[in-house]
Structure 1
Amino acid sequence: MDSLPEIHLNLNDPDFVYDPYPRLAELREATPAFYDPVWNKVFFTRYEDIAGLLRDKRLGRSILHVLSRDELGWPPPNPLTRDFDHFQENHILDNEPPKHTRLKGLFLKAFTPARVEGLRGKIQSIVNALLDRAEDRGRMDLLHDYAEPLPVAVIAELLGVPEEDRHLLRPWSAKIVKLYELGYTDEQAREANQAVVEFSRYIQALAEDRRKHPRDDLISALVQAEEAGDKLTEDELVANCILLLNAGHEATVNSTTAGVLALQRHPEQKKLAVEAAKAGHGEFFKGAVEELLRYDTPLPMFERWVLYDLEWKGIPLRRGQEIALLYASGNRDPRKFSHPDTLDLTRADNPHLTFGLGIHYCIGAPLARLELQTSFQTLLRRLPNLAVVEPVEYTGGFVIRGHKAMPVEF
């Protein structure tokens, strides 16, 4: 890329993963766009560019509907990820119109606002049960005892996965999402592919049961969803159920642990939140959750393919090229947010990038918001003296930036 500075951003460097914000601020000011020859991607760091590119229909989450592997100069498909690749081809996130439009329309026939709102009481019950188990102990691992089981239980409830099978979901998802990091190993590829195979078989069996014995759950609704005579194929139904778990719980888990850590490091903000929780001020937590999602972005980077040649602010982007959008950087851009490095739970104007923009805006955002608002309000009301035992370790990747564990005392 002759017109852009060449910089390698080591996304897997432990120091960068632990605290990426100083380096992102340097890049945002000095080189808002740059080409990384190691990752072979053009990176964008400023809010205005990221927001604009997310809305630009000349970019997409997939490319093979526009160019063949030969035209892209890609090697043949990796046999280690055959089933994973098939899963990718059939879910909403990695498709473009017209297929994306069709899939999204059918999925939203079943995944309605009323269905999400109907989970409110169940979410509160799950949160209460998790805290009941921990409250008398005076300590827990916030990640494994609270942040992880909550969204898995909620999505299992939404889909209609029986209680006795729910322990299967998190391990499958944890293996699958490794392939969204840059630089995964062959062993991780094998494990992810096998997880897709096992998860798919499980959803297929569940869907077959719901065809015969419908219930009030999302899988039953997806089986029945129809628009203009069109229905989801079995592969599409399976892929989107798997996507819902992967996307729906990874972000929520990371938001919970990152949010608790941010509150600990900003005691005056934590005090505000605890007071609001004790007073039952649910409205406070609507804004507070948006700020926690902005301040420490749970999924800090997303990628797009250039579908057609274009020029973006003087930067030529060629068909078949890949760009990386650093949400975590855009969410701290002072051109968009006043005092962006300050956590302000009362921030009024907060158009953060965390759920994306454009046609690929996260369809699970309403559920994630409901979970996080309930989770933080109840956690801080019941455990106001919650304290993280630092330092905490991260899992090793930036793209899905999560913690290995988070011991807390209360």
Structure 2
Amino acid sequence: MPPALPTLPLTDPAFVQNPYSLLEKLRDTTPIFYDAAIKQTVFLRYDDISGILRDKRFGRTLTHLYSRDELGWPPPDPAQAHFDAFNGNHMLDSEGAKHTRLRSLVGKAFTPRRVETLQPRIEAMLEEYLAQLGPRFDVVADYAEPLPVRVIAELLGVPEAERGLLRPWSAAIVKLYEPSYSADQQAEAEHAVVEFSALIRRLAVQRRAEPKDDLITALVQVEDGGQKLSESELTDTCILLLNAGHEASVNGLSAGVLALLRQPEKWAELVEAAQSENSLPIFRTAVEELLRFDTPLPMFERYVLEDLEWNGTPLKMGDQVALIYASGNRDPRRFEKPDELRLTRDPNPHLTFGLGKHYCLGAPLARLELALSLRALVRHAPKLRLTDATAAPEYVGGFVIRGLSRLDVCI
């Protein structure tokens, strides 16, 4: 292993608020190191991260190759049996033939064309939310949070009366992706998986009997070479779509607005651009830069599938590596002046949605939501500003899923 260093302070509020100065220092001095606290080898440079994401010797799991006994893993924790079953069933944490089959099936139902047809509906939702905003509001709770959950709910076909459950369920589930969590958080996540699964199973039964124009119907009906999704695969795919479908959008939009309001001249650029009816491409480009500049999901993990050496660092089968997207997205070896917010940066090959076979299937939807949401907000509140520009932002949870707890602004 590479030499051990002081650990990344993943739960330290000061680091979560501003990880970039420490990441820059480590990226320059020790871009690969073993973190004893999380028991992972950490990679900080763009080329290493992008290379590992594309390399078949790394994967999201090991259990497609080895049993838990062969790996020396402890027995599964019965306190999170349903959560573990969910994680083992969806395509994000699958490898090999299973991943290929799941991605093919889900991709046939969740298509970019289906996403693009949502634009008029998303714009109507945004107008509704903007009309409810007062002269002072919280960007996170009042604007960024409601849209992605509602879009996913409509896309799936979840009835209106049950949509209020989705955000709390998702918030509970994703807490178990942090390096540490409490027994109460574990219990809440387990309960959320059980309840969400029951809802999707009930809706799937209804769609088999009475198909509708929604994603659950498409997932029930999708077939590829005689292969179909099992009931548990369909259920867990829907849970994944909600979790992945709103975290990047909520955190990306709120962090993006914060970055723009801290540099008013950048906000002014978008105010001017928004006057044009054909401004959406400008906002799409700006969103790519905002996702690079302040990465909403800063860290992902991979398992080492065989003994190997990477850039002079020996890695053993079964090791875990931590890929710090937030660092790779600020690497000056790949991006010119990466600490500058350049809204017209193009090309912009950021890591935010991953690379390789696990590239985020929901990226087209997140990009569309973010571009439309930002443009609508800029048009509605061209003089938007932070209520207290001197206040340090507060974040929910830790570094792995890094999101603002609130962002108070005034028009």
Interval containing the TM-score (normalised by the shorter chain): over 0.9
Preserved CA contact (<8 Å) 1:7 1:34: no
1:202: Cα distance to partner?
0.4
SS in 2 for 1:324: strand
SS in 1 for 2:274: helix
Match of 2:366 among 355, 365, 368: 368
Superposed, 1:344-363 pairs within 5 Å as 344-363=342-361
CA distance in 1, matches of 2:74, 2:111: 41
SS in 2 for 1:98: helix
Match of 2:259 among 224, 249, 262: 262
Structure 1 unmatched runs, 5+: none
Q: Which residue number corresponds to residue 99 of structure 1?
A: 98
Q: Which residue number corresponds to residue 377 of structure 1?
A: 375
TM-score, normalised relative to structure 2: 0.97
TM-score, normalised relative to structure 1: 0.98
Q: Which residue number corresponds to residue 29 of structure 1?
A: 28
SS in 2 for 1:408: strand
Q: Deviations over 1:283-333 (max 9, x none)?
A: 211110000000000000000000111111111111000000000000000
CA distance in 2, matches of 1:87, 1:396: 22
Preserved CA contact (<8 Å) 1:7 1:35: no
Preserved CA contact (<8 Å) 1:148 1:253: yes
CA distance in 2, matches of 1:17, 1:47: 20
1:406: Cα distance to partner?
1.6
1:97: Cα distance to partner?
1.4
CA distance in 1, matches of 2:96, 2:121: 35
Higher deviation after alignment, 385-394 or 15-24: 385-394
CA distance in 2, matches of 1:322, 1:67: 15
Structure 2 unmatched runs, 5+: none
Q: Which residue number corresponds to residue 85 of structure 1?
A: 84
Q: Deviations over 1:87-124 (max 9, x none)?
A: 01110100001100000000011111211111111111
CA distance in 2, matches of 1:17, 1:396: 9
1:158: Cα distance to partner?
0.6
Preserved CA contact (<8 Å) 2:252 2:291: yes
Q: Which residue number corresponds to residue 334 of structure 1?
A: 332
Q: Which residue number corresponds to residue 182 of structure 2?
A: 185
Count residues with an aligned counterpart. 407
1:162: Cα distance to partner?
1.4
Superposed, 1:156-305 pairs within 5 Å as 156-280=153-277, 281-305=279-303
Task: Give the root-mean-square deviation of aligned CA atoms.
Answer: 1.0
Higher deviation after alignment, 71-80 or 335-344: 71-80
1:5: Cα distance to partner?
3.9
SS in 2 for 1:405: coil
Higher deviation after alignment, 70-79 or 332-341: 70-79
1:279: Cα distance to partner?
2.5
1:388: Cα distance to partner?
2.5
CA distance in 2, matches of 1:327, 1:270: 25
CA distance in 2, matches of 1:88, 1:78: 13
Q: Deviations over 1:14-47 (max 9, x none)?
A: 1000000000000100000000111100000000
Preserved CA contact (<8 Å) 1:43 1:326: yes
Q: Which residue number corresponds to residue 400 of structure 2?
A: 399
